Amino acid sequence: MTRPYLNDTHDPKLQSWVPGANEADNGFPIQNLPFAVARRRDSQEDFRVMVAIGPYALDLGLLACDTPWHGKAADALAACVKPALNGLMALGQEYWSALRAALSHDLRQGSSAESRLRPMLIERSKLEYALPAQIGDYTDFYISVHHATAVGKQFRPDAPLLPNYKWVPIGYHGRASSIGVSGQQFPRPVGQTRPPEGQEQPNFGPCQRLDFELEMGILIGKGNEAGRRIPIAQADEHVFGLCLFNDWSARDLQAWEYQPLGPFLAKNFASTISPWVVTLEALAPFRRPFSRPESDPQPLPYLQDQTNQESGVLDVELEVYLSTEQSRQQKKDPALLSRSNFKEAYWTVAQLVAHHSVNGCNLQTGDLLGTGTLSGPAKGQEGSLLEMNQGGKNPIDLPWGEQRKFLEDQDEIILKGLCRQDGYPTLSFGECAGRVLPAVP
């Protein structure tokens, strides 16, 4: 199987001199090295680009003052002095790879850089985060056939999937300004809902069917010129990395407003992104073959090539947890709601990039692509409450005695993502947490 970008940074035997970085399943071994923008909590420091290693983060803004390297690695590090990843992301794959290689070399056991880098480490538990990038545009896709089928059955039992679904990656343009980083708290959205039977005027008020959506976010690195499409063979070169993403959804607002143009107020009030961006290069060992059932339409030529067939799929385990005001008062652990996997998606990352640009659309550095809700085929693998409770018909029982059809005030959703396989250290995406506050009167 072809796995692009595999090099010595992926060596499963690599160890780091950083305390705790070699502990089993810590999630941030030297093979990961994800990026974030952060500062010490409750400080007045500037936010800076950092890279995670074990329970620590290495301050790249501080390291850049030392100018320790030459060539592309030095140029990439110099781009990390601003409080966003956009400068680094705009440089392109060769620079990202050079920086990763230099960091891997200096963080390895036996490196002569240990004494110089050790004072630049900060405990991750003491950090607060900003958005990892300035997000200019945001597109949300709909690439889980299991989610699309489950939701479609609630409205069209005999034909849950529309005729175009298996031919074209479905997507729409969302709003970037309300995307917040993990820890985001937002008031319950307010808007119009469908008139009750016998009433002509719609109701207006707080959303009663607030839901989460388990997604992954894809951050665009180097963009393309307007009018020049990105071939699928080059699509991965334009992807800097992936993160966790919760695209909150007001189901009752959406049911009233979505025809004929799609969701509006139901989706633009808040979306939450995880702070740590795992680079596409770090994910290379977790690539899997892409295939379609023979009975399904095969992708059109612009959406398929040999590399995508051999290694287009990413194996990322995903989990959703819920805590409530009552559970936190009782000091109960958050309840696991579901588990799914990104590898179950109907379309790959490269296919999304190729399709998005095939009409000449110019993707730009910092653009975010959401995958859409990522559900699996079995019970317990649903990526939203709408699926779990069949549209609100079957409340979910929580371990501490509460029930939920949809989210209530002070509920907190926590997404987690892991890459695991035998003989390789576990890679973590960290957490993506967001909490619902009462609606503004």
The dihedral sign for the CA sequence 34, 36, 39, 45:
positive
- In sequence order, what are the beta bridge partners of 339? 319
Query: In sequence order, which residues have a C-beta less than 8 Å from that of residue 101 and are 6 or more positions away?
Result: 7, 8, 9, 73
Structure tokens at 25: 């399943």
Instruction: Compute CA distances 160 → 30, 266, 267, 375, 390, whole Å.
Output: 44, 22, 22, 15, 14
Question: Is residue 255 helix, strand or coil?
Answer: helix
Alpha carbon 180 to chain centroid distance? 12
| DSSP conformational letter for 35 | E
Alpha carbon 8 to chain centroid distance? 26
Structure tokens at 250: 């007001």
Q: Which of 155, 132, 395, 327 is nearest to 254 (CA)?
A: 155
Whether 105 is a known active-site residue: answer no
Whole-angstrom distance, CA of residue 244 vs CA of residue 291:
24
Q: Is residue 189 reached through a cis peptide bond, with omega within 30 degrees of 0 on the bond before it?
A: no
Catalytic position from the list 10, 146, 147, 355? 147
| DSSP conformational letter for 439 | P
Round the CA-based radius of gyration of the chain to a whole number and report it: 22
Structure tokens at 356: 């998005």
**What is the DSSP track for 205-250?**
EE-SSEE--EEEEEEE-S---TT----GGGGGGGEEEEEEEE--EE
**Pair 58, 21: CB distance under 8 Å:** no
Instruction: Compute CA distances 223 → 82, 133, 194, 328, 416, whole Å.
Output: 19, 14, 41, 44, 28
Rounded to 10 deg, the angle between the 93-107 and 71-78 helix axes is 100
Structure tokens at 216: 């992954």
Q: Which of 356, 317, 311 is nearest to 27 (CA)?
A: 317
Cite the beta strand spans of 309-382 per DSSP E: 313-314, 317-323, 335-341, 368-370
Query: Catalytic residue numbers?
Result: 147
